[in-house]
Structure 1
Amino acid sequence: MPTIAKNNDVITVIIIFAVEPERQHELVDTIVEFLETGVKHQAGFVSSSIHKSIDGVRVMNYAQWKTLEDYQAFVNNSETQKLGAKVFQFQIHESHIYEVVVSLPDDATLKITKGDKIHLAEFRVKPENQQRLVELEREYLPVGLQNPGLLSGNFHRSLDGVHNVNYGQWRSFADFEKLLKDPKYASLGEYWQGLAENEFHLYEVVFTEPAD
């Protein structure tokens, strides 16, 4: 099953699609079909985990490749990309290549499994502010982990310098809602101010390759 690689032995590619709620299921099926026919046998492919947002307006593919060169060879393979033509008829909201820069707690189980509850926070940042944002993420994540419902927090830095994401694994969405309402976590809603723009969605993992 997929594993979040906090020691960066793989690269992570996160593609987030914007979709109409009535077409979310169609998009998930289309991505899964492309994975089965055009992706999983590519050299360097490690894993892919498909997530659907609870509000119906996003689908995310959290994919891992052995090297950047492997991923670029896949992207530049015209025959393979023809197989994915149906996928790319949908709108891509964000697409970046990442490395994991903060992952806590140290003893967290970093497996991605079907049914997982995920909070994905997106930070749009200027390259000159990205490293400072990483430092603050490392500082403030232990505050969030005081909530027993947060199983792990995993901050990713995009290699192009303009995007960070936090892939938070939760016991339940109710636990996440408690964090939003509890005053002791108020600082978590402020630390990026002046450095980045932020939005988040809640997701459920609906498919993994390799399977759980």
Structure 2
Amino acid sequence: MPTISPEDKNLIVLNLFTTDAPEKQDQLIEEMTKIVNAATYEGWKSSTVHSGILSHGTANFIQWRSGEDLEKRYEGEEFKHRTLPVFGEITTSIRLLQNDVAYTLTRDGGKGGAVEIGPHRGVFTVITIFGVAPENQDELVDALGEGQNWFADVPGFQAHIVLKGLRARGLDGLWVASYSQWDSQEAFDAYRAIPADQQSEGRTKAQDRTRAVATFVDLNTYNVVHTRSVGE
């Protein structure tokens, strides 16, 4: 199963698709699963498909060896003349986000270690995209990373990955992405429902830092439905 770690130095491509109907979400998952199962691209390492819960859509968390390998995929005839047209027919938006892994945290307090992703984990997954001006991106990475070490003490929290945005198709400007794993939706909802006056000092400070520099926030929740790594 794929593991995500800053030490691996892989390029992370977070492909986010939105659509307007549950049957179109099912189509997206079917098409993405076909692509993942047939993947033999040079430099491709793993893909993990997610099914949207809060709103209709999908996410594909992909690891590549390098940006050069990814661009070869984008320039291929299959991607330009089959993949994009098929997705274009069933989506309302397509965002292809290239990232570096900036930070990881697990519930045992481990920082910088590997986070495993895949359907076998049975976790509730939250992906949040924070827009940011270039001059504030490092501050936002730190606020969402080291600034959120207190996450390890939150009931139901499992793991947290912070991705630093590099280049994108379908999204203007820069961003930082947060990918977090929880025991259940109930655990995540309980965390979100804690009144402001009962939140920890660390959480309040991190949220204030984030609000000060984020230009937009886009959140969706997911179940992980399929994964495959090179060699499988």
Normalised by the length of structure 1, the TM-score is: 0.89
What do you get for the CA RMSD once the two structures are aligned? 2.2
Q: Indicate the residue corresponding to 2:177 in structure 1.
A: 165
1:119–1:101 CA distance, 2 compared to 1 (3 A): same
1:172–1:166 CA distance, 2 compared to 1 (3 A): same
- 2:192 is equivalent to residue 193 of structure 1: no
Flag structure 1 segments of 5+ consecutive residues without an equivalent.
Answer: none
Secondary structure at 1:143 match in 2: helix
Distance across 2 between alignment mates of 1:91 and 1:73: 25
- 2:116 is equivalent to residue 98 of structure 1: no
Q: Indicate the residue corresponding to 2:49 in structure 1.
A: 50
CA contact (8 A) 2:9 2:100 kept: no
Matches for 1:114-193 after TM superposition, within 5 Å: 114=119, 115-160=122-167, 162-182=174-194, 183-185=198-200, 187=204, 189-193=207-211
Secondary structure at 2:144 match in 1: helix
Distance across 2 between alignment mates of 1:138 and 1:157: 10
Distance across 2 between alignment mates of 1:140 and 1:178: 21
CA offset at residue 208 of structure 1? 0.6
The amino acid across from 1:193 in the alignment is: R
CA offset at residue 86 of structure 1? 1.2
Q: Indicate the residue corresponding to 1:110 in structure 2.
A: 115
> Aligned residues: percent identity?
22
CA offset at residue 94 of structure 1? 2.5
CA offset at residue 189 of structure 1? 4.3
The amino acid across from 2:213 in the alignment is: L
CA contact (8 A) 1:15 1:94 kept: yes
The amino acid across from 1:71 in the alignment is: L
Q: Indicate the residue corresponding to 1:3 in structure 2.
A: 3
Distance across 1 between alignment mates of 2:208 and 2:21: 30
Flag structure 2 segments of 5+ consecutive residues without an equivalent.
Answer: 168-172
CA offset at residue 156 of structure 1? 0.3
Secondary structure at 1:159 match in 2: strand
| Number of residue pairs aligned between Structure 1 and Structure 2 | 210
Normalised by the length of structure 2, the TM-score is: 0.82
